[in-house]
């Protein structure tokens, strides 16, 4: 996400820092490079032009030029302007009003509407709502069946749509169905087309007029860049959308759509899709995204992910086991599962401040399969083996490898790593106790 833009910006700022004192001349060169970086990231031309002008005006003021760290001041200005460009503050869903609240998803075919409907349902379940899904696409083959499958995975009710019924009437009937089941909000997965046409827009407008949704959310593919912005403009003209959900952000190294869409249509990005799993939907925070772009990480989002997916009681129990040195392979497996729930390891690493400036870490691509392989190896062990790894001899290792579909070398590697971790824990606990007796901490 934003990889190419982050690299270019950080290179530009590095050059500015090397200048020591800033002048109009070297600021002009630096801003030219920032402008090129934005255009290469597929940012809308007018958006990039206006952005650079605002940064130039602020950067050439006496406050910056007279500063002891002028380059740092410029970075601060760029961060603030990026935040402003993407919407300043988080815009949440409007869920006020009579139940069921209607959330209407619109967009072209292939943008990820159906999967996003499921992701949104999972997000709302996490907020203690009881959402329902409505398949309103009666044209695309298997669209209704697809949403039923997504609903099953998300653990939410799906309206039994009849493809013979007009979509406008279908959505209207779904409202009464939701009231009977006590569902709220109701998420409508509407039809899309390969391109915008009058028939599609007329139908969507009729649905809007009949059910009066609280939110009309455009689902747009971030990887299409400028096309996503053009699509957003057209949908906004016809429907007056209330917000945007950008999908496939994890595969978009440029990020032009995220940086341009708010400035062009004056509607906020409310969520971004960052993976295929139903949990891979993130609330969009402009300030946090600006920090990510500038390589400052996103610690708040990382903490929020941990709070959602880590059980507090389990965490306290883990701390007790670590202190008493009773941490087993079974506990290790539980921690792996918790980490996997948080999403992509690569995305989590990029949330750590400064990672993109550390040689080796920036280009690190964690092997997600390694976690699955490790879990499979532990699952192939008996309870006694998990509790006491030291009883695992050669025969047991061969059996475990066969049962997990791995090699004896894989099993050896896991046991060696676990043994090293156990030694480190013992040293830490031993050092901690000694230091406590001496009256100070070991760090």
Number of Cβ atoms within 10 Å of the Cβ of 231: 24
> Helices in 310-367 by DSSP H: which ranges?
312-324, 329-341, 345-350
Give me the pLDDT at residue 314, please: 60
Give me the pLDDT at residue 87, please: 87
Look up residue 151 and give its two tokens. 């609903």
On whether the CB atoms of residues 332 and 386 are closer than 8 A, the answer is no
Q: 345-360 pLDDT, tens per residue?
A: 555 555 555 545 544 4
Give me the pLDDT at residue 347, please: 58
Which comes out higher in pLDDT, residue 177 or 257? 177
Selection from 171-175, 249-253, 428-432 with the highest mean pLDDT: 171-175
Nearest alpha carbon to residue 243 among 272, 280, 208, 210 = 272
> Helices in 156-285 by DSSP H: which ranges?
167-181, 198-211, 226-239, 256-265
Give me the pLDDT at residue 348, please: 55
Which stretch of 12-21, 308-317, 355-364 has the lowest confidence by average pLDDT? 355-364
Which comes out higher in pLDDT, residue 434 or 12? 12
The structure tokens 């401040």 sit at: 353
The structure tokens 């046409």 sit at: 197
Q: 42-77 pLDDT, tens per residue?
A: 888 899 999 999 988 888 776 666 665 777 778 888
Q: CA-to-CA distance for 103 and 62, rounded, in angstroms? A: 49
Which comes out higher in pLDDT, residue 251 or 199? 199
Look up residue 271 and give its two tokens. 């969520």
Give me the pLDDT at residue 10, please: 82
Q: CA-to-CA distance for 433 and 427, rounded, in angstroms? A: 10
Q: How far is CA 51 from CA 11, 54, 79, 80, 85, in A?
A: 19, 5, 11, 11, 8
The CATH code of domain 3-85 reads 1.20.120.140
Angle 312-324/329-341 helices, nearest 10 degrees? 150
Is residue 380 classed as helix, strand or coil in its secondary structure?
Answer: coil
* CATH topology classification for 304-438: 434 Repressor (Amino-terminal Domain) (1.10.260)
Which comes out higher in pLDDT, residue 54 or 363? 54
Give me the pLDDT at residue 107, please: 92
> Helices in 41-127 by DSSP H: which ranges?
45-59, 62-65, 70-85, 113-126
Give me the pLDDT at residue 153, please: 94
| pLDDT at residue 386 tops 60 | yes
Give me the pLDDT at residue 324, please: 65
Which comes out higher in pLDDT, residue 369 or 165? 165
Q: Could you say which architecture CATH assigns to the domain 102-296?
A: 3-Layer(aba) Sandwich (3.40)
Give me the pLDDT at residue 65, please: 60
Please enumerate in sequence order all residues whose Cβ is within 8 A of that of 391, keeping only pairs 6 or more positions apart, or say none: 384, 385
DSSP structural state of residue 363:
T
- What average pLDDT does the segment 272-294 reach? 87
Give me the pLDDT at residue 148, please: 95
On whether the CB atoms of residues 250 and 1 are closer than 8 A, the answer is yes
| pLDDT at residue 146 tops 90 | yes
Q: Let me know the angle formed at the C-alpha of 310 by 306 and 316, rounded to the nearest 5 degrees.
A: 120
Give me the pLDDT at residue 227, please: 85
What's this model's pTM, rounded to 2 decimal places?
0.69
Give me the pLDDT at residue 5, please: 81
Nearest alpha carbon to residue 132 among 97, 159, 165 = 159
Task: Find the radius of gyration of the CA atoms of the chain.
Answer: 26
DSSP assignment of 106-148:
E--TTS-HHHHHHHHHHHHHHTT-B-EEEEE--SSTTHHHHHH
Give me the pLDDT at residue 364, please: 46
Nearest alpha carbon to residue 243 among 115, 123, 106 = 106
Is residue 149 classed as helix, strand or coil in its secondary structure?
Answer: helix
Q: CA-to-CA distance for 287 and 80, rounded, in angstroms? A: 8
What is the percentage of the chain residues whose pLDDT exceeds 70?
A: 78
Give me the pLDDT at residue 158, please: 96
The torsion angles phi and psi of 313, rounded to 5 degrees, stand at -65, -40
Nearest alpha carbon to residue 293 among 94, 133, 80, 436 = 80
Give me the pLDDT at residue 28, please: 83
Please enumerate in sequence order all residues whose Cβ is within 8 A of that of 112, keeping only pairs 6 or more positions apart, or say none: 219, 221, 247, 248, 273
Which stretch of 134-143, 212-221, 357-366 has the lowest confidence by average pLDDT? 357-366
Res. 325 pLDDT band, cuts 50 70 90: low
Number of Cβ atoms within 10 Å of the Cβ of 424: 10
267, exposed or middle or buried, with CB in 10 Å at 0-12, 13-18, 19+?
Answer: buried
Task: Calculate the average pLDDT of the chain.
Answer: 81
| pLDDT at residue 93 tops 50 | yes
Task: Return the domain boundaries, the chain.
Answer: 3-85, 102-296, 304-438
| pLDDT at residue 129 tops 70 | yes
């Amino acid at each position: 996400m934003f990889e190419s833009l982050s690299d270019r910006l950080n290179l530009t700022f590095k050059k500015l820092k090397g200048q020591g004192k800033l002048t109009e001349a070297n600021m002009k060169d630096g801003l030219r490079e920032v402008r090129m970086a934005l255009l290469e990231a597929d940012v809308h031309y007018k958006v990039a032009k206006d952005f650079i002008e605002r940064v130039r005006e602020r950067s050439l003021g006496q406050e910056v030029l007279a500063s002891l760290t002028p380059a740092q001041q410029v970075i601060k200005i760029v961060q603030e302007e990026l935040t402003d460009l993407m919407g300043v503050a988080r815009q949440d869903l409007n869920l006020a009003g009579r139940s069921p609240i209607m959330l209407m998803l619109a967009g072209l075919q292939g943008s990820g509407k159906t999967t996003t409907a499921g992701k949104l349902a999972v997000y709302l379940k996490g907020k203690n709502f009881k959402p329902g899904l409505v398949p309103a696409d009666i044209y695309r083959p298997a669209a209704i069946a697809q949403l039923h499958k997504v609903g099953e995975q998300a653990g939410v009710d799906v309206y039994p749509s009849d493809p013979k019924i007009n979509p406008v009437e279908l959505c209207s009937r779904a409202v009464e169905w939701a009231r009977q089941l006590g569902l709220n909000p109701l998420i409508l997965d509407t039809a899309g087309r390969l391109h915008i046409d009058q028939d599609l827009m007329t139908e969507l407008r009729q649905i809007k007029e009949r059910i009066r949704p609280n939110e009309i959310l455009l689902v747009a593919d971030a990887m299409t860049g400028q096309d996503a912005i053009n699509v957003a403009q057209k949908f906004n003209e016809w429907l007056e959308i209330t917000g945007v959900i950008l999908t496939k952000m994890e595969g978009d190294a440029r990020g032009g759509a995220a940086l341009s869409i708010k400035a062009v249509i004056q509607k906020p990005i409310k969520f971004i899709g960052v993976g295929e799993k139903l949990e891979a939907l993130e609330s969009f925070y402009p300030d946090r995204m600006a920090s990510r772009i500038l390589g400052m990480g996103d610690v708040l989002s990382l903490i929020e992910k941990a709070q959602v997916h880590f059980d507090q009681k389990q965490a306290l129990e883990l701390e007790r086991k670590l202190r008493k040195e009773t941490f087993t392979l079974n506990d290790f497996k539980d921690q792996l599962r918790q980490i996997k729930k948080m999403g992509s390891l690569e995305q989590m690493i990029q949330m750590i401040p400064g990672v993109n400036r550390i040689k080796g870490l920036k280009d690190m691509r964690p092997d997600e399969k390694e976690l699955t392989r490790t879990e499979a190896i532990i699952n192939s062990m008996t309870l006694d083996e998990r509790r006491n790894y030291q009883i695992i001899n050669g025969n047991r290792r061969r059996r475990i490898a066969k049962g997990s579909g791995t090699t004896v070398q894989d099993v050896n590697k896991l046991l060696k790593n676990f043994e090293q971790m156990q030694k480190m824990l013992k040293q830490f606990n031993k050092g901690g106790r000694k230091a406590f007796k001496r009256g100070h901490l070991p760090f």
